[in-house]
Structure 1
Amino acid sequence: MIKKLPIYCVFLLFLSFGYAQNDLQHWQQRAENVEVFRDQWGIPHIYGKTDADAVFGMIYAQCEDDFNRVEVNYINAMGRMAEVEGISKLYTDFRMKLYIDEAVVKKEYENSPAWLKELMDAWADGINYFLHTHPEVKPKLITNFEPWMALTFSEGSIGGDIETISVNQLKAFYDKDFHAHLVLQERDWMEEPRGSNGFAIAPKLSQSGNALLLINPHTSFYFRPEVHMVSEEGLNAYGAVTWGQFFIYQGFNEYNGWMHTSSRADAIDHFALTVEKRNGQYHYLFGEEWRPLTEKTIPLKYKEGNEILEREITAFYSHHGPVIREDDGKWVAISLMVEREKALTQSYTRTKTKNHQEFKATMDLKTNSSNNTVYADKDGNIVYYHGNFIPIRDSQFDWRNVVDGSNPATDWNGLHEVDEMIYIENPENGWIQNCNSTPFTAAGPFSPKKEDYPDYMAWDLENARGLNAVRVLTDQKNFTLASLISAAYEPTLMAFEPLVPALQKAYNALPATDPKKEKLKEPMQILSSWDLKTGVNSVGTSLAVFWGGQLMADARELDRPWDRYIFDFLAEETSDAMKIEAFEKAIDKLSKDFGSWNTPWGAINRFQRVTNEIQGKFFDELPSLPVGYNSSLWGSLAAYGSRAYPNTKRWYGNVGNSFVAVVEFGDKVKAKSILAGGQSGNPFSPHFVDQAEKYANGEFKEVNYYKEDVIKNARIRYQPGKKK
């Protein structure tokens, strides 16, 4: 039986269909201005008449490669993960919605400059046209992308500032009794470091007389694909893009290149509030006045079974920012950067800069809050920026800890100008390095001096990668792209430089009658003669990594000064007995899991990609490749964070070197790159693992940057929405 609809419903359906038809015509017209070339590695090269056309084609191509990752990033950014994954994500969503208010973000979109609105419009059009032309793709949640949504994810870091807020503490403060026994998963800040390496080489140290740049982010694998976008309006950017964003996050154009490394320049502060309820409303003390806390009801949805349920939480805001927990009777508010439109502007406009003056102008927007930047250009400049968003503070306070939010002297006093921050331009030594390490060794003896800056400018400590980077760059000359790759993959694990001798000393001190003396004799001989270099055939690497990991675990209860180099601390402050016990445990673990402690690193450390789930799954019984790289924690410049899983004995990589590139800036730009696995997220695509073997061997592919090379190496050429 066909149910008749009221005439007004028919009219509304007609209108809806009409709008859809208009949208479709608009998308098709946009697609006519776009051409996509897929090269021999499946890398998309997008050519558009305008920047907006290039954005349209670029996001369409991203969706072709992995729509799931595009959508999930925006589900998360908008605070809607609980609608997909259930109550375990409810407070992660609440954390996001402390800052993301749909009505506010829509207004920000409407007030954005016309050029940026055009890019956001094209972005939404590209995703929606992909969904229209691929009805077999079923979104988890977002069936229609709107332009304002681009503002919710405007900075491409893997772990943004908001992630420093504990979801368990949020729940304990705001919603303690709801599912009282629910324990939420926090980001493990002790896990494999998600950092990055950036090297810049001045012309005087290169064989060609051109500046060189290493782009080496350490992210979870498949977090960023490789993309090339070109327009007739001056855009020609190549590099890594975070899924769903429309700007090249770490990359280069014909004139310059930029590499972001995670920073500890202080961009976030916590303020203790003295709070009282007065006349039915919460107030906090500031100076001698009691200010009312702003109250905001935040609606949340979450999936339970087959239902979508709703819950509201009332959040409190001070002028310092939202309240995120309670400590010792004080409410604690957090201050961090909230500049969505400016951040998106900075992220995009830097991809079109033609010299350092233009690039520095984008840095003056001061919204790249969690990153350092290593830069090189065609004019021969090499530059380093430590942080970008740094509030001006009173140095009498300890900004590493919670400060008194009732004291007006703790208020931020604007932002430091770029020239006031830690900054290096064309140092005399001819190279710059940053490996998430202290900026005070970034240019060797020509580095900035710590005493010239407030402490909050750089809490960063030296790490094993930083030590190795300085070592391999010092006194080197005649750099080429090939030798820059060699430097970036130099395999020494500097963390063990103080550790192995300390273990040898502890072993030598064992009495001859101690049964451990004989049990550990042979592995100790191998470890003592090990050259500290990680590699697939190295047994010393296996012994060192298993022992070092065990020693760190055993030593977690020790009180380590925050500013002490961790491996000197472990070498000097753990007892001989702890070192020996940890070594014995490591030997036993290797023997149990692999049949012998005498197991080379490549038999343990593997690369495998068999599914495209965001949280990867691994299987010992399926094929995998040996990998010689190691954890960035131990100082492996080529970072490879691996571990065993509940169903595996072998260790499988899931974070570290992902997209890596080396670039030379001359009359023509030259570049080589490599991806972990491959470009496509489709396990049935030839580009799912076609780069895996090269990746495991540290072999780079040639980047097809100029159109003649793109055309020569193109395997597919098409317009979005049309058959290939």
Structure 2
Amino acid sequence: MHFALQIPLILFLLFPIHSSLFAQVDPDNIEIVRDQWGVPHIYGKTDKETAFGLAWAHSEDNFKTIQETFLPAINKLGSHLGKDGATFDYIVQALRCREVAESQFSNLSKGVVLVIEGYLEGINAYAKAHPDEVLIKSSFPMSMMDYLTGYNMVIHFFSDSGEILRDLLGDNVEPNDSLFKENVSDKTIGSNAFMIRKEKTEDNKTYFNINTHQPLEGAFSWYEAHVVSDEGWNMLGSLFPGSPFPLIGTNEHLGWTHTFNYPDLIDVYQLEMHPKKKNVYRFDGEWKTLETSKAKLKVKLFWGMKLSAKKKLYWSVHGPVFKNKSGYFAFHSNAMENISSIDQWYQMNKSTNFEEFKTALKMCVLPRFNVAYADREDNIFIISGGRIPIRTGDYDWAGVLPGNTSKTITSGYHAMEDFPQILNPSHGYLFNTNNSPFNVAHPDDNVKESDYDPTLGYREQANNRSTRFMELIDQYPTINYEEFQRIKYDQQYPDSILCPFQLNEVFDLDPNKYPHIKDLIVLIQSWDRKANIENTAAAQWSILFKKLVARTKEEGLYHATSLPEELLIEEIEGTQKYLLKHFKRIDITLADHQKHTRGDKEVPISGLIDMIAATNSTPIKHGQAKATSGESYIMLIRYSEEEVEIETVLPFGESNHPESPHYQDQMEMYVNHTRKKMTLDKETIYREAVKVYHPREE
């Protein structure tokens, strides 16, 4: 899928460099070691050299997506994708991403600048060596500021700017609308992290489940890589296109992952405009004029034709300004002064113990995220943080703020100690499934929400995954690795299914009142809430659920505490019609309906939305649905004093090229809930290598 269609979900980086700042990388100092699954293990003398090798290896597997990721930074996605791409070219200019990159560059450490430089030397070298793969000929070589401009745009979307822009530009904001910010219950995908200490495991090892739920393909899908240097870097994990290192995973000492959290990251302001003068607004008793400029855009049409266009941009003391039917609105995001999160991720990569990792966390420049952590010393830890403004004054910070006073302008951001966090809880486990940061452990170990600043604005509550995890973990006073895996791959809803609207009323219908759909009602009501591929009610439930989501949104009932019975019956009738049309019967299995597909390979896949092992699917052909997100990169780790045992799997494989043997080679493992063994040991990696080469070698 195109980058432009996936931007609301993510975490990924963009591109290139001031090559005059440092010495050029010598590719002869770098070795790319491909294992039997095509995973690149990259060895360099320095971190910079290793980043060069990562750029080359990832480009070999998916250069197209990397390019589509960075093109908005240089105002060229519209030239490649047309109108959809031009939207993001516009956003980069509207949010002044380049100005932020230029003003914040000096805050980056020399170490991370060297790594970015090495990565971008590698990507530019690959583009030069493979000109036929370059999408826009004038896009190479790229500069450091181009890279950081694109990176800043990405941070905006991880800071909720995408949701704000959607509503402001879509006339969905009413004056003083306290419900304006996104409702977390609307979210249909997420991530999981489970950590269990030795005291609770039967083999005296620390267990860690790294399990993000991302799109399975495209710019927000994971790429697995192992980066090693003589400067103390030895990190195996996954990254998004354009990242110069893994963003989650493990080194030989410790590991971490992220799950999305939902604090209040952005402040939105309604401006008081002058009744007569154009583009003039009141602020602290004075009238100020909006700064104006124009975004310059080029949009691909057809037959190679391109349309040039300009769009007005406005800026206030609060930030970018957008006009809609309700008035003039501005917003402020932490991304308007932040590119340093790339530095924090790098410092996390290089940490060798919890204290060093904690020092990296104290930078507090990640835009958001729960950070879940475990290590060989049996520490487990979780924190729900982000770049969250310090807010004072008696205002409804969750709503639209008055823009005519400096009293609603925040100053500074919360420090690490301000966030809910737990280290080594007494009951021996931590978890997060995008649920509340105040329910991530045994009830006796959780922190109290009342002890934290309410303007942090956490919106998460319980979800089906958190409810189900608590049901399962309570069954095990101690746990072995097989039981841990059973929890990780659980595909069953709790008895009362959680949903933005009340859907459990389906189970209370009287089938005898509706003889024409009685059999389907009985089948659904007898469902065991499981989603194995042989299940004969899971597909029916999935089809009905999607119909109910569409209908409740259409009729404004998406957050209703009760649904009219006639609505439920109409959608069950629609479900039966759908089943009979496509399958000629109602008792199909989930395997008949839901598929995991890539190229010419198609296999049944289990799981449903918001299960612990989730599968989210979209309709394709003949009544079937294709898995598009949910379980993505999976890494299971067992830490002990002697070793780090690692198992991983991707939904498809390392390569995005259909002709590659690694285009589909992990699909069977993925659907069968198995994984490949991985290692950080250099001797083993070289002994079992399939290919060893220097970048630039053909």
Partner of residue 382 from structure 1, selected from 371, 380, 394: 380
Quick one: structure 1 residues 291 and 159, their matched pair in 2 at CA, closer, same or farther if it must change by over 3 Å? closer
Quick one: structure 1 residues 256 and 124, their matched pair in 2 at CA, closer, same or farther if it must change by over 3 Å? same
- Give distance in 2, aligned partners of 1:39 and 1:201: 30
**1:225–1:241 Cα contact (<8 Å) kept:** yes
Match runs of 1:517-596 below 5 Å: 518-556=515-553, 573-596=562-585
- 1:706 partner letter: D
1:237 corresponds in structure 2 to: 235
The offset of 1:593, in angstroms, is 1.8
Is residue 507 of structure 1 aligned with residue 510 of structure 2?
A: yes
**2:56–2:123 Cα contact (<8 Å) kept:** yes
2:126 corresponds in structure 1 to: 130
Match runs of 1:371-410 below 5 Å: 371-394=369-392, 396-410=394-408
The offset of 1:210, in angstroms, is 3.1
2:210 corresponds in structure 1 to: 215
2:351 corresponds in structure 1 to: 353
- Give distance in 1, aligned partners of 2:195 and 2:150: 28
Is residue 98 of structure 1 aligned with residue 94 of structure 2?
A: yes
Quick one: structure 1 residues 650 and 557, their matched pair in 2 at CA, closer, same or farther if it must change by over 3 Å? closer
The offset of 1:537, in angstroms, is 0.6
What do the CA deviations read for 1:664-701 (whole angstroms, capped 9, x no partner)?
Answer: 22222111111011011110000000000110111111
The offset of 1:623, in angstroms, is 4.3
Quick one: structure 1 residues 319 and 211, their matched pair in 2 at CA, closer, same or farther if it must change by over 3 Å? farther
- Give distance in 2, aligned partners of 1:551 and 1:202: 41
1:44 corresponds in structure 2 to: 40
**1:95–1:165 Cα contact (<8 Å) kept:** no
Of the structure 1 ranges 424-433 and 496-505, higher mean CA displacement relative to structure 2 is found in: 496-505
2:165 corresponds in structure 1 to: 166
**1:154–1:245 Cα contact (<8 Å) kept:** no
**1:536–1:601 Cα contact (<8 Å) kept:** yes
- 2:440 partner letter: A
The offset of 1:95, in angstroms, is 1.4
- Give distance in 1, aligned partners of 2:96 and 2:585: 53
- Give distance in 2, aligned partners of 1:604 and 1:159: 33
3-state SS in 2 of match to 1:323: strand
2:179 corresponds in structure 1 to: none
3-state SS in 2 of match to 1:673: strand
**1:34–1:719 Cα contact (<8 Å) kept:** yes
Partner of residue 719 from structure 1, selected from 684, 690, 694: 694
3-state SS in 2 of match to 1:72: helix
Partner of residue 329 from structure 2, selected from 316, 328, 331: 331
Quick one: structure 1 residues 33 and 627, their matched pair in 2 at CA, closer, same or farther if it must change by over 3 Å? same
Partner of residue 684 from structure 2, selected from 709, 714, 717: 709
- Give distance in 2, aligned partners of 1:348 and 1:501: 46
Quick one: structure 1 residues 84 and 673, their matched pair in 2 at CA, closer, same or farther if it must change by over 3 Å? same
3-state SS in 1 of match to 2:91: helix
3-state SS in 2 of match to 1:585: helix
Identity, % of aligned positions: 25
Structure 2 residue ranges without an equivalent (≥5): 1-18, 173-181
2:619 corresponds in structure 1 to: 644
Of the structure 1 ranges 151-160 and 339-348, higher mean CA displacement relative to structure 2 is found in: 151-160
Is residue 656 of structure 1 aligned with residue 651 of structure 2?
A: no
Of the structure 1 ranges 518-527 and 425-434, higher mean CA displacement relative to structure 2 is found in: 518-527
**1:275–1:284 Cα contact (<8 Å) kept:** yes
Partner of residue 148 from structure 2, selected from 137, 147, 151: 151
Is residue 685 of structure 1 aligned with residue 660 of structure 2?
A: yes
Count of aligned pairs between the two proteins: 657
- Give distance in 2, aligned partners of 1:327 and 1:717: 60
1:288 corresponds in structure 2 to: 285
- Give distance in 2, aligned partners of 1:683 and 1:151: 32
Quick one: structure 1 residues 576 and 167, their matched pair in 2 at CA, closer, same or farther if it must change by over 3 Å? closer
2:7 corresponds in structure 1 to: none
Quick one: structure 1 residues 103 and 582, their matched pair in 2 at CA, closer, same or farther if it must change by over 3 Å? closer
TM-score with structure 2 length normalisation? 0.87
**2:380–2:423 Cα contact (<8 Å) kept:** yes
1:671 corresponds in structure 2 to: 646
Quick one: structure 1 residues 47 and 481, their matched pair in 2 at CA, closer, same or farther if it must change by over 3 Å? farther
**1:151–1:344 Cα contact (<8 Å) kept:** no
- 1:681 partner letter: N
1:301 corresponds in structure 2 to: 298
1:469 corresponds in structure 2 to: 469
The offset of 1:166, in angstroms, is 3.2
- Give distance in 2, aligned partners of 1:88 and 1:165: 18
- Give distance in 2, aligned partners of 1:105 and 1:589: 52
- Give distance in 2, aligned partners of 1:412 and 1:209: 48
- Give distance in 1, aligned partners of 2:171 and 2:428: 52
The offset of 1:241, in angstroms, is 0.7
- 2:210 partner letter: I
- Give distance in 1, aligned partners of 2:367 and 2:99: 24
Quick one: structure 1 residues 264 and 168, their matched pair in 2 at CA, closer, same or farther if it must change by over 3 Å? closer
The offset of 1:106, in angstroms, is 4.8
The offset of 1:481, in angstroms, is 4.5
- 1:57 partner letter: G
The offset of 1:319, in angstroms, is 2.4
- 1:688 partner letter: Y
**1:274–1:284 Cα contact (<8 Å) kept:** yes
Quick one: structure 1 residues 501 and 337, their matched pair in 2 at CA, closer, same or farther if it must change by over 3 Å? closer
- 1:271 partner letter: Y
Please tell me the root mean square deviation across aligned C-alpha atoms, in Å. Answer: 2.9
- Give distance in 1, aligned partners of 2:234 and 2:593: 42
- Give distance in 2, aligned partners of 1:448 and 1:427: 11
The offset of 1:488, in angstroms, is 1.2
**2:66–2:242 Cα contact (<8 Å) kept:** yes
Match runs of 1:251-290 below 5 Å: 251-276=249-274, 282-290=279-287
Quick one: structure 1 residues 686 and 57, their matched pair in 2 at CA, closer, same or farther if it must change by over 3 Å? same
Of the structure 1 ranges 226-235 and 550-559, higher mean CA displacement relative to structure 2 is found in: 550-559
If you compute each CA radius of gyration, which structure gives the higher value, 1 or 2? 1
3-state SS in 2 of match to 1:440: coil
